[in-house]
């Protein structure tokens, strides 16, 4: 049996060694690529909008309020639209509410859910925003919470007695009011009592009026 030349043997050994190095280098490169990708995925910033789009970060639903009625009890006394806005934090269409263009010289705006006094008639001003606007509230009647839904930072306002959602408050918009605040309130969330008198128990005296300017 004739042995192959030594040069051929060396050539074959070099070729096998080269192929082994190529395979090893490729495996190492793939491993490095996988590590880099894992690092990139872990370090990618989250997108606040996506998280807030599927849930509210408002803390109002976690608070405890004096009026502790259940959802079933609220459904028994509220209309479907009132429940949607007061209890589920909905919003009525702009310029559609009965109190958007309603003004009176005296009276009290109360919570449509529990009848607690919220705003005095002289707190209301013309903002042109499409919802009833107030520059102040009755002391202690309103509770504020940070609302991060839809990727925005807003201040939600709720009734301090029952936690019913009223709307949002905005500041620094330049309205010529004493507080430079705009309490943007859903008409569905409130009622109006024409007499500017708060009786014992936190109720507003008088029947709903329809004065219009």
Residue among 123, 88, 118 at smallest CA distance from 105: 123
Residue with tokens 């702009």: 94
| Tokens 């807030």 found at | 52
Secondary element (H or E) of residue 36: helix 6-43
CA atoms within 13 A on the CB side of 54: 4
Q: Would you name the residues annotated as active-site residues?
A: 184
Tell me the two tokens of residue 108.
């009290």
Contacts 24+ apart (CB under 8 A), 166-169: 166/111, 166/118, 166/142, 166/190, 167/91, 167/131, 169/142, 169/144
Q: Which of 93, 175, 87 is nearest to 134 (CA)?
A: 175
CA distances from 99 to 4, 139, 147, 204, 210 (A): 103, 21, 24, 17, 9
């Amino acid at each position: 049996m004739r042995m192959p030349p030594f040069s051929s043997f060396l050539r074959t050994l070099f070729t096998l060694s080269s192929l082994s190095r190529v395979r090893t280098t490729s495996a190492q490169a793939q491993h490095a690529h996988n590590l880099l990708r894992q690092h990139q995925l872990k370090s990618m910033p989250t997108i606040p909008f996506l998280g807030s789009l599927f849930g509210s970060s408002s803390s109002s639903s976690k608070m405890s309020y004096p009026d502790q009625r259940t959802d079933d009890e609220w459904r028994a006394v509220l209309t479907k639209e009132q429940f949607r806005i007061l209890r589920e934090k909905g919003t009525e269409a702009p310029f559609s509410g009965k109190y958007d263009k309603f003004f009176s010289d005296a009276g009290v705006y109360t919570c449509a859910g529990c009848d607690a006094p919220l705003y005095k008639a002289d707190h209301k001003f013309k903002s042109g925003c499409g919802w009833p606007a107030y520059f102040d509230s009755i002391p202690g009647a309103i509770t504020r919470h940070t609302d991060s839904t839809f990727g925005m930072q807003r201040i939600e306002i709720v009734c301090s007695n029952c936690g019913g959602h009223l709307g949002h408050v905005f500041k620094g918009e330049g309205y010529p009011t004493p507080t430079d605040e705009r309490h943007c309130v859903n008409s569905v969330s409130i009622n109006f009592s024409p007499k500017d008198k708060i009786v014992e128990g936190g109720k507003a005296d008088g029947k709903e009026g329809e004065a219009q300017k």
